[in-house]
Amino acid sequence: MSLVNILTQTGTNVSEIDFTSGLDSTYDIYLFKFFECNPATQSTSFSFQGNATGQTGFNEVIQSTGGSAYHEEGGADTTELRYTTWTHKANLTTFQRMTTSIDNGSENSASGELWLHNVIGTNHKQFRYSSVFMSTSNYCENTWGCGYFNTQGNITEIRFKMDSGNFDGQVTLYGVAKE
């Protein structure tokens, strides 16, 4: 397996980063890596949503679930694993959160990755993600989840955004080539 860099986008004080090209039948798997996504608004979440070919609004139906592990900065609370209700979607068209409650301090941000499988064709368009970030409660948190876009249409566009306000950050799209 090798990664083929398709497109890198860097945003400064932007409301969203959209990928409106690059997702097609060239690869079975696509990988987005996001780096240092720092929100302007305190205690917001980094999220994504897709668009099927010919659609608008980034509002595809999503089924998903996820969990997290975290550690409080001072060592007082060290939850090993937990199910996170904010990652769960049952046929909802809202954005899929990959984090929650990011601290907007200049040294804090969210980083991680989003994998997309089978974006072209009639099968479910599966995804999985993982992220790490510093929360407003001084917790270093690792989140992960999986799910699918419940549509027969091809997912050819992805939008990344904070649930509230603008952000700085970088997102790179890769095609995963079989060797």
Domain ranges, residue 34: 2-177
Category of 57 on φ-ψ map: left (φ > 0), alpha (ψ -120 to 50) or beta? left
**pLDDT value of position 164:** 96
Average pLDDT value for residue range 130-135: 94
pLDDT at 1: 85
Residue 26 has a pLDDT of 96
pLDDT of residue 79: 65
Q: Average pLDDT for residues 153-157, to the nearest whole number?
A: 96
Say if CB 121 and CB 152 are below 8 A apart: no
- Tally of domains in the chain: 1
Q: Is the pLDDT of residue 155 over 90?
A: yes
Is-contact 27 104, C-beta < 8 A?
A: no
Residue 30's domain is classified under what CATH number?
2.60.120
- Mind listing the pLDDT tens digit for each residue in 44-103? 999 999 999 999 999 999 999 999 998 877 777 766 777 888 888 999 999 999 999 999
Q: Which of 134, 138, 56, 130 is nearest to 98 (CA)?
A: 130
- Hunting for tokens 């980063």 — which residue is that? 17
Q: What residues contact 101, with CB distance under 8 A and at least 6 apart?
A: 43, 44, 45, 135, 136, 137
pLDDT tens for each residue of 3-59 = 999 999 999 999 999 999 999 999 999 999 999 999 999 999 999 999 999 999 999
Enter the pTM of the model: 0.94
Judge whether 86 and 176 are in contact, CB under 8 Å.
no
Question: Any idea how long the chain is?
Answer: 179
Query: Residue 78: what pLDDT?
Result: 66
Given a contact cutoff of 8 angstroms between Cβ atoms, the answer to whether 126 and 59 are in contact is: no
CA dihedral 79, 114, 58, 98 (to 10 degrees): 10
Contacts of 103 (CB under 8 A, 6+ apart): 42, 43, 133, 134, 135, 136, 138
Q: 123 has which bridge partners?
A: none
The more confident residue out of 123 and 159 is 159
